[in-house]
Structure 1
Amino acid sequence: MNDSPGWATPGSSPSDGDRQGSPADRPGSDGGAQQPARPTGDPKWSAEQPPPGQWSSPGATPPADTPQPPAQPSGGWGQQPAAPYGGQYGYPGGPGQWGQQPPAAKPGVIPLRPLGLGEILDGSVATLRTHWRSIVPITLVVATVIQVISVFVQKYMLSDLPLSSAEDMTAEEAIDSLGSTLTVSMVDQFIQVLGTIVVTAMLTMIFSRAILGQHSTVSAAWREARPQLLRLIGLTLLLALGIILLGAVLVLPGALAGNADLIVIGFVAWVPLIIWLGIKFSLASPALMLEKSTVIKAFTRSSKLVRGAWWRVFGITVLTALIASMVALVVLGFFQMIGVFAFGGIYSLADGSAQTAWGPLIFFGIGLIIAQTIIMPIQSGVTVLLYVDQRIRREGLDLELARAAGIENYGTTGG
């Protein structure tokens, strides 16, 4: 891994097993003489080592005739059980640990160890709070561009639709209304996807630096994200195309046969598959951006990292989406009420004029801009931190992060 946030591809590092390799390869280890862990706060311990046999647990006094353990040969750390999660904890009850886990190093917004749900959410919010000068301009500009285009699309594409009630609408008018509504929805979604891709690319680089305790500017984030931007667009389009083709295979036969039961069965099978694939490849975006990999390799990396942790990634992703939805509902509801009651009143909702009037559209757009400015960094941050967490758990990425953050002897002296 380099000191930059563009993390190198792990190569032969395992993705679905315990991290391999002797501790001689860890930063700060000379691979030679045994380096015993020193108690916290005692820099002189290494020069005044106690005699063998005194590393018993507190309160446990070994009998006098207890045989002493044989001395470890040179480089004996390679004979010890592999320390979990990058070696910062040592093994339970190991020298100097007393069976407890000392605090992990925290150069940036997260501690360098496996993360809990609260730490992932807190790290995402903490990054937004600490690095808002870089994050807010990105999300604010992109959200503003998206909503300005969306307002004009809704205004001029829906203004020609009949505003009569559903009872008075003819079949032709109903078909035209449905087609126009679907067209507007598709255009809005396409614009949203493009904006989200740009935001995701740039925010991923900012979050990767925030993990190391480093700041990033908007120009630096764009410069680092730009080489992978086309690949990220390709990844997003490929994932969307796969979902559409899967739906066509499962639902289209029933539709062509005019069999409602087959359509329902195909749809019921399609939705769980969409969710499963979405979670399976949810870490492809940070893998693509931070490992500078190709689209196919990013999909493969995400699949390996999520393997065995699908339900955990699913739960955190769903919880984040629920939190984002609640924030959006509160913000949008407030601004929509202002727009409706200030321009046309409650009757504008009943006759449909609120969908095309400038006042409600502008206030609704302002609400969406504010909501997306808050939501997009949190969701992007959770995805990046989930990626980092899975690599720490499977590949000992904390050692590479500590080295990039300038922490010396990390993983060899208890953190």
Structure 2
Amino acid sequence: MTAYPAWTPASRPGIVPLHPYGFGTILGRSFVALRHNPKVLLGFALVTQAVAYIVLTAAVAAAAVASFTRLDTVAPGSDDFDAILAGSVVVTSATALVLGVATGALSVVVQGVVVAEVAHAVVAEKPSLKAVWARVKPVVWRLIGYSALTVLATVVAIGVLAGIVALLVMSVLWLGILLGVLAVLGLVVVSLWLAAKLYLVPSAIILERAPVFRAIARSWRLTRGRFWSTLGVFIVISVAFSIVAQIISIPFSLIGSLVPAIIAPTGETDTGAVVGLIVVQVIGQFGILLVQCIALVVQSTSAALVYVNARMRGEALDHDLQTYVEARDAGATELDDPYLVGVGRVVARPAPVPYGAAGVQTGYGLPGGQSGYGMHGTQPGYATPGGQPGYGGPAAQPGYAAPAGQRGYTSPSGQPEYTLPAGQPGHEQRSRDDAPAGGDPAASAATDRPAHVETPRTRSDPAGATPTTWVAPGSNGDA
């Protein structure tokens, strides 16, 4: 008995089509991913960022209280007061800087989780947080190292530029100010350029398990030729969420400034006023934090989609993803990671076919080494089997005789006109013989011709020839 493969339903579509897509698809689908698996994406980002914000605020506040309360032990204006004040400022700033770097490290971990989840969403999978974290955990320190490296490079660059500008200001004021403005503008341009070129580093670390510097090289290579689209995605999403954050923060800032005047109009310190002010500020900060988490998720999703699109265009990742989806839906269990199959693959573009001479097109080639098809032209005769002569092209056809009273159709140049077979009447004779009996005026008018109209003669109808009459088949001709 012949075994046929079982029917399988069509594969479920992912958040993006499994073929190269454009700028609009990246922007639109970046928001769709958040709706695809909000528990993993938004939930993890919100909890992580909230914990980091609370720890940062509490630690900075504790450092400030511990350092600035020492000022109460010395007299204002003394040397010890100034020294303690300077030390308190340094301690508080250092605490805020260190914890800010730690918060940035947590942000890049969130970005790694988002990239891993989006990689599953592309092939229509909805993993749990545990499955996503299992993919991120082996490379989490690489993400943190990359974040620390970017922070260090930023601090060094800003410090060097600030030192140069300060020296110029102390020597030549106007020159220092001018170079300071140019340095700030140049720093903005370089920052945007680096942001676009390094936009895919977390995606390469997560999906390719690449070390930090190899991931930087991969991002640099994948964005080659796609710089402006990558920069456009980064700028549009950043500016959009910055505007949304400002829109949310402005009302809460106004409410926070009006609450003390409403609750304690006389300026007296009231517990209710303090509590109300704290509640308003906390609500406002929570709204801003929510917007920042959504922005982080959408930004990370767009980076993952840019990465997938770049590899589809340059490394044929779409074929690997389609193969994976078809095998998975067919019931296969042991499948290779499609994002690791063709890393660094070079897909050669087909060379352009050279055209022939002007006005002449070349034939189309056939696969397997067969000769190409020629273009339309004079067709040769067809050979027949058995040694018979080949069939030539169509022979010259004779012209056709015209109805009575009209000029005959001329044949093509060099071809004889059409003559009637022997024994058959012309068009005029058939019309008269087929006329209805009974003297119908309409029929007579349709068949009779004026006397002065002569029937045109053909070359084969000499003058004085008697007209032929129609004879029914099988008759003796006397009817």
TM-score (norm 1): 0.61
Show CA shifts across 1:223-248 (max 9, x none): 11010100111112122222333334
* Alignment partner, residue 391 of structure 1: 311
Q: CA separation of 1:390/1:183 partners in 2, compared to 1, >3 Å: closer, same or farther?
A: same
Show CA shifts across 1:118-166 (max 9, x none): 211221211111211222220121121022124324644567889xxxx
Q: Which amino acid aligns with 1:208?
A: A
Instruction: Supply the RMSD in Å over aligned alpha carbons.
Output: 3.6
Q: Which amino acid aligns with 2:307?
A: Y
* Gaps in structure 2 of 5+ consecutive residues: 1-10, 70-76, 266-272, 331-479
* Alignment partner, residue 118 of structure 1: 24
Checking the alignment, whether the CA contact within 8 Å between 1:336 and 1:367 is kept in structure 2 is no
Match of 1:382 among 290, 296, 302: 302
Match of 1:208 among 119, 138, 141: 119
Checking the alignment, whether the CA contact within 8 Å between 1:112 and 1:398 is kept in structure 2 is yes
Distance 2:284 2:102 in 1: 17
How many equivalent pairs are there?
293
**What secondary structure is seen at the aligned counterpart in 2 of 1:213?**
coil
Give me the identity figure in percent: 25
Checking the alignment, whether the CA contact within 8 Å between 1:108 and 1:213 is kept in structure 2 is yes
Q: CA separation of 1:401/1:181 partners in 2, compared to 1, >3 Å: closer, same or farther?
A: same
Match of 2:290 among 347, 364, 370: 370
1:241 aligns with 2:241: no
Matches within 5 A, 1:51-90: none
1:406 aligns with 2:354: no
CA displacement at 1:343 relative to structure 2: 5.2
Checking the alignment, whether the CA contact within 8 Å between 2:101 and 2:148 is kept in structure 1 is no
Q: CA separation of 1:395/1:382 partners in 2, compared to 1, >3 Å: closer, same or farther?
A: same
Match of 2:203 among 286, 302, 306: 286
Distance 1:361 1:179 in 2: 26
* Alignment partner, residue 96 of structure 1: none
Checking the alignment, whether the CA contact within 8 Å between 2:34 and 2:298 is kept in structure 1 is yes
User: Greater CA radius of gyration, 1 or 2?
Assistant: 2
Distance 1:396 1:347 in 2: 67
* Gaps in structure 1 of 5+ consecutive residues: 1-104, 163-169, 410-415
Show CA shifts across 1:142-199 (max 9, x none): 121022124324644567889xxxxxxx9x7998998688557535632430220221
Show CA shifts across 1:60-118 (max 9, x none): xxxxxxxxxxxxxxxxxxxxxxxxxxxxxxxxxxxxxxxxxxxxx97300012222222
TM-score (norm 2): 0.54
Checking the alignment, whether the CA contact within 8 Å between 2:19 and 2:312 is kept in structure 1 is yes
Q: CA separation of 1:267/1:326 partners in 2, compared to 1, >3 Å: closer, same or farther?
A: closer
* Alignment partner, residue 331 of structure 1: 248
Distance 1:119 1:192 in 2: 31
CA displacement at 1:335 relative to structure 2: 4.2
1:196 aligns with 2:107: yes
Checking the alignment, whether the CA contact within 8 Å between 2:196 and 2:227 is kept in structure 1 is yes
CA displacement at 1:383 relative to structure 2: 0.9
* Alignment partner, residue 220 of structure 2: 303
Matches within 5 A, 1:97-116: 107-116=13-22
Checking the alignment, whether the CA contact within 8 Å between 2:105 and 2:147 is kept in structure 1 is no
1:223 aligns with 2:140: no
Q: Which amino acid aligns with 1:126?
A: V
Q: Which amino acid aligns with 1:299?
A: I
* Alignment partner, residue 152 of structure 1: 58
Checking the alignment, whether the CA contact within 8 Å between 2:248 and 2:284 is kept in structure 1 is no
Q: CA separation of 1:253/1:116 partners in 2, compared to 1, >3 Å: closer, same or farther?
A: same
* Alignment partner, residue 35 of structure 1: none
Match of 1:140 among 39, 42, 46: 46
* Alignment partner, residue 130 of structure 1: 36
Distance 1:313 1:106 in 2: 28
**What secondary structure is seen at the aligned counterpart in 2 of 1:111?**
coil
**What secondary structure is seen at the aligned counterpart in 2 of 1:405?**
helix
Distance 1:138 1:111 in 2: 26
Q: Which amino acid aligns with 1:134?
A: V
Checking the alignment, whether the CA contact within 8 Å between 2:197 and 2:223 is kept in structure 1 is yes
CA displacement at 1:268 relative to structure 2: 3.8
